[in-house]
Amino acid sequence: MKNQIESLYINAVLNNESPSYFADKMLDLIGIDGEKDTRTNRQNKARWRYLNLVASILNNKGYTLDVPGLEVPIKWNKDLLYHMHWQASKNVLYPEKNRQLDTYEFSKLTEHVRDLFAMIFDIYIPFPNIKDKLIDEDYKKMNNG
């Protein structure tokens, strides 16, 4: 088993594979299936919160989606951002993934999309996390709100 693990690691490094690829192969090797660290519900909620926030800021700054053939520009919403940028980025970064991303891959995709929005729209919005929610709750408590 030790030789198989070493061989797997060496092949992953030589082929410049992602850490998640190595982790998946390790789990397959030792016979553990279905216990991979998939993204959490908290990450899913944070994604939709983030995309809503980005859409709101884009609309407030006057950005719209101009579609050829439509005379009316379309305002941004979380679903447009998800399909045009989030899902498209996922397909570029992880083309072999037909299932949901694990937490590491999700985090990398989050960084990529955040940087993409900074480049395209000239906005930088940190991705929400649990600390943000706790800070918001503490602020509301301190201000009797």
For 23, residues 6+ apart whose C-beta sits below 8 A from its C-beta are 36, 102, 104
Burial class from Cβ neighbours inside 10 Å (0-12, 13-18, 19+) for residue 109 reads: buried
What's the CA gap between 33 and 98, in Å, rounded?
16
What's the CA gap between 75 and 110, in Å, rounded?
22
What value does the mean pLDDT take over residues 40-64? 90
Secondary structure class of 74 (helix, strand, coil): strand
- pLDDT: which is higher, 29 or 99: 99
pLDDT for res 61 = 94
Q: For the chain, give the mean pLDDT.
A: 78
Extents of the domains making up the chain: 1-36, 37-142
pLDDT in tens, 19-48: 656 566 665 655 544 444 566 778 888 899
pLDDT for res 119 = 93
Long-range contact pairs involving 3-7 (C-beta distance under 8 Å, separation at least 24): 4/29, 5/29
Q: What percent of the chain has pLDDT over 90?
A: 37
| Whether the model pTM is above 0.85 | no
pLDDT in tens, 69-88: 888 889 999 999 999 999 99
pLDDT for res 135 = 44
Cβ contact 59:75 at 8 Å: yes
